[in-house]
Structure 1
Amino acid sequence: MHSFLSAKRWLPLLLAPSLAAAPAWAQHTVIQAENVRYEYAQVLRAEPVYQTLRATSMVERCEQSSMVAPEQGEERRGLSRVVGAVRDVLTPGRGNQAAEGDEDCRMVPVEREFRRPIAYDVDYVVRGVKYRSRLPNDPGNRLRVKVAVTPVVPGGGAE
């Protein structure tokens, strides 16, 4: 308890030099840091900023070596070839066998590209002055802005 009482006695003596060094107006006045209000700015342009994503997937690709097989040693020609191919496909059992046996299938990589907007570069005007900011969303025609005015006090280190 004795140490508490002695600290209580010395505390005003420790603070006295700092209080004496401050100007008289600063000892009793609280300085407001800034004046703030909200206004609406006119949006001139909002341009999306895209992120490009690439994805590779494996897809089965099949190439048919021959859709039309020669019939009994003779080759099909012209219209006969087309009619024969249609008949082979439409004949139950025959078309599937020909297609399965003649296909050369393999897995091939296919790369796809996707673009998605991740932000917007927005040009806007506040009191006749043009500004640009990157925002997470498209603000539309108007943008709410915070207008702050802070006085510069001589000797305050803000110069």
Structure 2
Amino acid sequence: MPVNLPLSMALAMSLASPLVQQQGEETFVPVEQVRYDYAEVLRVQPVEQVITTGVVERRCTEQGKCRQVRVPKELRQTIGYDVDYTYRGSKYRSRLAQDPGRRVRIRIGITPMVSNRGRR
């Protein structure tokens, strides 16, 4: 018996579970459910990049003889932050571009595992 659905409901159902054709069999691929929350930051450690270059300087002796000398110079640049944080009793680590402060916003995505094997 055919079921008549309003167009908006049929569209919503098609977006919720996209249909994929695989070797003559139809498979529904579940859509990821996403929400956002905050986690407590435990530790933030800057990650630095060290660049060593040589700078040419003029050096003179007490007798007045001068010469050009290459002097090594180190440049340190912060390229990110290793952030340790906890969410619901589990600890995590991520490298972020900025220091997040006391809390870090996290994305939680849940998708059922789809197996190519038969149902269990």
Does TM, normalized by the shorter one, top 0.5?
yes
- Give the structure 2 partner of residue 35 of structure 1: 33
Q: In 1, Cα distance between the equivalents of 2:79 and 2:117?
A: 41
Amino acid corresponding to residue 62 of structure 1 in structure 2: C
Q: In 2, Cα distance between the equivalents of 1:155 and 1:109?
A: 65
- Cα pair distance change 1:54/1:154, threshold 3 Å: closer
The structure with the largest alpha-carbon Rg is 1
Give 1:50's match in structure 2, choosing from 38, 48, 51. 48
**TM-score normalised by length of structure 1:** 0.53
SS in 2 for 1:145: strand
- Give the structure 1 partner of residue 99 of structure 2: 138
- The alpha carbon displacement at 1:34 in A equals 1.7
- Give the structure 2 partner of residue 112 of structure 1: 73
SS in 1 for 2:109: strand
- Give the structure 2 partner of residue 122 of structure 1: 83
- The alpha carbon displacement at 1:32 in A equals 3.8
| Correspondence 1:62 to 2:23 | no
**TM-score normalised by length of structure 2:** 0.69
For structure 1, the residue ranges without an aligned partner over 5 or more in a row are: 1-17, 66-102
The alignment covers a number of residue pairs equal to: 95
SS in 1 for 2:61: strand
- The alpha carbon displacement at 1:156 in A equals 6.3
More helix by share: 1
Q: In 2, Cα distance between the equivalents of 1:106 and 1:36?
A: 66
Q: In 1, Cα distance between the equivalents of 2:117 and 2:107?
A: 24
Percent of pairs with identical residues: 45
- Give the structure 1 partner of residue 112 of structure 2: 151
Q: Stretches of 4+ moved more than 6 A in 1?
A: none
- Give the structure 1 partner of residue 18 of structure 2: none
For structure 2, the residue ranges without an aligned partner over 5 or more in a row are: 1-23
